[in-house]
Amino acid sequence: MPPMAESMPYWTARVLTLFPDMFPGTLGFSLSGTALKKGIWELETLDIRNFARNKHRNVDGAPFGGGPGMVMRPDVVGAALESVGPKTQPVYLTPRGSPLTQEKVRAFVSQGEVTILCGRFEGVDERVLEAYDLDQVCIGDFVLSGGEPAAMVLIDACVRLLPGVVGNETSVWNESFEEGLLEYPQYTRPEIWDGRAVPAPLVSGHHERIREWRRKAAENATRERRPDLWALRNERNMAVKD
Ligand code: SAH
C-alpha cells in the first residue's frame, strides 16, 4: 500500500512532557524520521508547564509523607490531560507499570493514535492517574530519569509497524517476539571473516535446510537467554493441544 497523502497520517503520537524540545529526537532520523517527513505518522507535543496556573508556575511539589525528590502536581497534569479531550486511553510511562510487549505495541498501532504522559522527578501524583484511568506501562526493569526516552522507545516500536515504513513489510513479522521466540542470528558477507565461517546450511541454497536451522537456532537462543519466554511458549503450545 503506498503512503497516503500528507493530509491523512496513519497514526498519531501525542506526548505530554515538561521537555517538548527533546522531540522528535531520535525519532527524527532513519526510518521513523523519513516516515514523519512523508506524513505517514504525526507527532504532537504538549508542554505540561503551560498548564501550571499558580503564580510561580509550579509543576511539582514535595511528597506528602516525606521522602526525597518532588512529585508532579495532579492539577497541572490533569489540566494537560483535559486539554487532549476524549481520545484513546492515555498511557503513563512508569517503572510501576505493566511491561511493554510487542503485542501491546501492535494494540497501540491499531488504535490509530496514542497519548503518552512522561513523568519527571519522583513521578506523578497517583490521584490524577486514577481520575483519568491511565494505562501504566514500563519499558524495562530499570529506572530512567524521565519518561521522554521511554516515550521514544514506545513510539519507535509502533512507527516501524506502520505500512510503508520498513521497506520489506514481511520482515516485521519475522522478528524477535513475534512468535514467542527470539530471532535466529544473522550473517552477511564476507562468507569467511577472521577465520570464522557462516553456518553451512545458510549458504547451502537449500530452503528447507535453512528454515530448519533458523528454527532450531531461534529455539535454542530463547531457551538459553529467555527461559521466561520459553516457558510461556510451551504453556501456550500445550493449551493449543488440549
Ligand atoms: N520514583 C519512581 C521513578 C521515577 S523516574 C519509581 O521508583 O517508580 C522519573 C520518570 O521516568 C517516571 O515518572 C517515568 O515517567 C519515567 N521512567 C523511569 N523509568 C521508566 C521505565 N522503566 N519505564 C517507563 N518509564 C520510566
Mean pLDDT taken over the chain:
94
- Contact (Cβ atoms closer than 8 angstroms) between residue 133 and residue 177: no
What confidence category does residue 225 fall into, taking pLDDT thresholds of 50, 70 and 90?
A: very high
Q: Does ligand 1 come within 6 angstroms of the Cβ of 142?
A: yes
Going by alpha carbons, the residue nearest to atom 5 of ligand 1 is 145
Going by alpha carbons, the residue nearest to atom 1 of ligand 1 is 122
Q: What is the atom index within ligand 1 of the atom nearest the CA of 117? A: 15
Whole-number Å distance, alpha carbon 118 to ligand 1 midpoint, is: 9
106 Cβ contact partners less than 8 Å away, ≥ 6 residues apart: 161
8-state DSSP, 167 = S
Q: Does ligand 1 come within 6 angstroms of the Cβ of 151?
A: no
- Contact (Cβ atoms closer than 8 angstroms) between residue 81 and residue 118: no
Q: Does ligand 1 come within 6 angstroms of the Cβ of 147?
A: yes
Stretch 130-151: mean pLDDT, rounded?
Answer: 98
216 Cβ contact partners less than 8 Å away, ≥ 6 residues apart: none
Cβ burial of 87 (10 Å; 0-12, 13-18, 19+) is middle
Residue 225 grid cell? 537467554
Residue 57 grid cell? 508556575
Crossing angle of the two packed helices 207-225 and 227-241, in degrees rounded to 10: 120
Q: Does ligand 1 come within 6 angstroms of the Cβ of 22?
A: no
Where b means 16+ CB within 10 Å and e means fewer, 42-72 reads: ebebbebeebbeeeeeebbeeeeeeeeeebb
Q: pTM for this one? A: 0.94
Decide if pLDDT at 183 tops 60.
yes
- Contact (Cβ atoms closer than 8 angstroms) between residue 14 and residue 118: no
What confidence category does residue 108 fall into, taking pLDDT thresholds of 50, 70 and 90?
A: very high
Q: What is the atom index within ligand 1 of the atom nearest the CA of 137? A: 24
pLDDT at res. 169:
64
